[in-house]
Amino acid sequence: MSKLFKLSFLLLLVGQPLLAQDAKPDAYQDSLQNVIATSASGETKKEALFLLGEHLVQRDPDLAEKIAEDLKRSYLKGSDSSNILRNNYIFAASHRWHGDYKTALEYYQTIYDYSKRHKDSINIAESGHFIGTINMFLGYNVLCQNHLIEVAHIYNKIGTAEQKADINSTLASFYLNIDQVEKSKDQYLLALEQYEKLNDSAGMASVNANLGMLYTDLGEFDKAEMHLMKQKELNKVFPTLREMGFHHDFLGLLRQKQGRLDEAYQEHLTALKIRENLSSTYNLCESKLNMGEVLIKLGRYPEAISQLKDIFKYDEHQSLYQQQAAYELLSEAYEKNGDFKAALGNYKSFKKLSDSIYSDESLEIIAEKDAQYEKQKKDAEIALLNKEKEVSNAELSRSKAILLGTLIGLGLFLIAVIALFTLYKKIKSKNSIITKALKDRELLLHETHHRVKNNLQMISSLLNLQSKYVTDTKALEVLQNGRNRVQSMAILHKNLYAGEDLTMVSIQSYFEGLVESILNSYQKSDKDIQVHIQAKDMVMEVESVIPIGLIVNELVTNSLKHAFPKDITQKPEIRIEMTQSEEAYTLRVKDNGKGIDDEIIQKGKDESFGQRLIRSLTQKLKARIEIQNEKGTQVVVTVPKKS
């Protein structure tokens, strides 16, 4: 359910930004209307109409559309392409704010096609951003990805700081929509940092709202509430009913997760009443979905069914995600109300729609990403060749000038100059080959680590999705442990391609990321357990770090699962330390829990998979392992250095 809201708040920012005069919209509107009524200049009146139409698309979409019709009829000629595009943006935005996404897409597509023909990069990016975002709303992930990647390439080259922040925020929502949670979180945090530098209140509010929903899904309720309250504070800068509607719905979803159902109902009811008086039927349907969900949890099934059936009355936006969510909730409501036939029919509709969104389309998304990767690689190679050609041409021109001057002024040295020039060209050619080979190798290593990390992240996401459909506790634990092991390797490759050295790993940074991932997977925070990591200035080769990371993953997981019973009196702590001497590296992992069973230390009991994995990894490293059982459990692994 929360996917709908992460995406819907985003659309507020991909459009005309809130202006300073929003605090006094009537005064600004009156001043423009006065210019239109009194100006004798056609150009002045036309510009005032444009500004008024752009100002009104959110506040009064019907009036904005009428102004656009007036501009089209009275002021725009067929050759006035720039103003026609500007007017089409008003048409598109007015339909978008009505929730009529189909018509809005047609206008944006017209702008995009025209801009493509005329190689207008900025309008390609602006219209493509709208097309990608709306397709994400409607559930067409492949179309969405195609446009967003193209927009990101353009903005990275020629975009403003605000445009770069906007596309990063949109990409974060896309990654979250396909369950790449870690990548989405990184992208949101990057966008938030960019908006903070710009002091963009609306942008910061949007990202904080989406981070609130992300942390709600992860079960990190304190972080979720912090971000949602930040959104509320930021919305005070430009207070509008639309933003408050989002805030109350988001807060209601958090209260649902917390089990505070009466409070959740009141928040959703407030949002619904706000949105009943606004133009967007899409946002209204979001509130109806949330009301349906909380009413089911409160046992008010007929009311829930009434709210959910309303979703299908609004066909102008035709969102596959909203229809899918409505079918799923209707199935649950009918079942709990005793109408099993209706429950089965709605479940079949939900399943059919869900398969069309996530199964076939997921394969297309993966193929599209592979194609995009190849395209990026080729573009980088072409850019590198063009750069080398420019340098070569510049060097050749300078060499010719030197040669010509030498021939005229120093004819006696002709043979020596020719010999030296020939030698120079050979050396330059060899250096160029060597430099290109080194750059290609570095680029290949970067892309290899990036690709491995993405593939491991995808495996982690698939395991996470699968775990949602597993009810058996042991099977769920096995899936969770497998996901953590895959995640430990994904974090390693992320550190590699993000760092300057592609073969060495910073142990401190790697352990911090690994422990954060493990704690998140068990829904633990710093308030629940204190983790101390000491490995500053330690770097190791990737070949050794992979088994060490898996060992740390197993040891920390074992501590979380077994070391701290519910009746423990002291605050749980885990300490991870990595040191080195001339001969060996030493890893220490210690907790202050109840201690490990002595029979396990002496191998008197059957080993678990995790214990066998640790033993296998230490053998691979030719390491020595010691287990101490005093005031908790301490495991010491000594890894000899290679010759």
The string of pLDDT tens digits covering residues 315-370 is 655 677 788 888 999 999 999 999 999 999 999 988 887 776 665 555 455 445 53
341 and 384 co-located in one domain: no
115 and 9 co-located in one domain: yes
For residue 179, give the H/E element and its range: none
Highest mean predicted confidence (pLDDT) among 57-61, 136-140, 309-313, 496-500 = 309-313
Instruction: Kindly state whether residue 250 falls inside one of the protein's structural domains.
Output: yes
Instruction: Kindly state whether residue 620 falls inside one of the protein's structural domains.
Output: yes
53 and 171 co-located in one domain: yes
Phi-psi region at 626: left, alpha or beta (left = phi > 0; alpha = psi -120 to 50): beta
pTM of the predicted model as reported, rounded to 2 decimal places: 0.53
Average pLDDT, the chain: 80
- Please state the rounded mean pLDDT for residues 402-421: 78
Is residue 3 scored above 50 in pLDDT?
no
119 and 32 co-located in one domain: yes
Task: Identify the pLDDT of residue 505.
Answer: 83
- Please state the rounded mean pLDDT for residues 418-431: 79
Instruction: Kindly state whether residue 464 falls inside one of the protein's structural domains.
Output: no
Per-residue pLDDT band at 23 (split at 50, 70, 90):
very low
Output the CA–CA distances (angstroms, integers) from residue 171 to 167, 386, 410, in the order listed: 6, 30, 63
Strand partners, 627: 635
Instruction: Kindly state whether residue 585 falls inside one of the protein's structural domains.
Output: yes
CATH code, 579: 3.30.565.10
CATH code, 44: 1.25.40.10
Q: CA 47, CA 20: separation in Å to the nearest integer?
A: 19
Task: Identify the pLDDT of residue 144.
Answer: 85
Q: Which domain holds residue 263?
A: 3-361
Instruction: Kindly state whether residue 226 falls inside one of the protein's structural domains.
Output: yes
Instruction: Kindly state whether residue 12 falls inside one of the protein's structural domains.
Output: yes
Task: Identify the pLDDT of residue 112.
Answer: 94
605 and 560 co-located in one domain: yes
Per-residue pLDDT band at 107 (split at 50, 70, 90):
very high
Q: Which of 126-140, 325-339, 377-391 has the lowest mean pLDDT?
A: 377-391
348 and 386 co-located in one domain: no
326 and 284 co-located in one domain: yes
Q: Which of 361-375, 437-451, 506-520, 558-572 has the lowest mean pLDDT?
A: 361-375
Per-residue pLDDT band at 436 (split at 50, 70, 90):
low
Task: Identify the pLDDT of residue 349.
Answer: 87
179 and 294 co-located in one domain: yes
Task: Identify the pLDDT of residue 514.
Answer: 83
Retrieve residue 242's tokens.
């639309």
Task: Identify the pLDDT of residue 630.
Answer: 81
Task: Identify the pLDDT of residue 252.
Answer: 92
Task: Identify the pLDDT of residue 381.
Answer: 57
Picking from 389, 359, 367, 294, the residue whose alpha carbon sits closest to that of residue 332 is: 294
49 and 78 co-located in one domain: yes
230 and 328 co-located in one domain: yes
349 and 379 co-located in one domain: no
What phi and psi values does residue 128 have, to the nearest 5 degrees? -65, -35
234 and 102 co-located in one domain: yes
Instruction: Kindly state whether residue 457 falls inside one of the protein's structural domains.
Output: no
- Please state the rounded mean pLDDT for residues 282-291: 88
Question: Total domain count for the chain?
Answer: 3
Decide which of 445, 464, 483 is a domain's last residue.
Answer: 445
- Greater model confidence, 263 or 630: 263
Highest mean predicted confidence (pLDDT) among 328-332, 383-387, 544-548 = 328-332
Task: Identify the pLDDT of residue 207.
Answer: 92
Decide which of 299, 334, 361 is a domain's last residue.
Answer: 361
DSSP string, 494-559: HHHHHSS-SSEEEHHHHHHHHHHHHHHHTT--TTT-EEEEE-TT-EEEHHHHHHHHHHHHHHHHHI
Task: Identify the pLDDT of residue 8.
Answer: 44
Instruction: Kindly state whether residue 499 falls inside one of the protein's structural domains.
Output: no
Q: Which of 143-157, 312-326, 435-449, 517-531 has the lowest mean pLDDT?
A: 435-449
Q: What percent of the chain has pLDDT over 90?
A: 26
- Please state the rounded mean pLDDT for residues 627-632: 84
Decide which of 361, 387, 420 is a domain's last residue.
Answer: 361
Per-residue pLDDT band at 427 (split at 50, 70, 90):
confident
Q: CA 452, CA 607: separation in Å to the nearest integer?
A: 31
Per-residue pLDDT band at 246 (split at 50, 70, 90):
confident
Expressed in percent and rounded to 5, the helix, strand and coil fractions of the chain are: 75, 5, 20
Task: Identify the pLDDT of residue 5.
Answer: 40
- Please state the rounded mean pLDDT for residues 165-193: 89
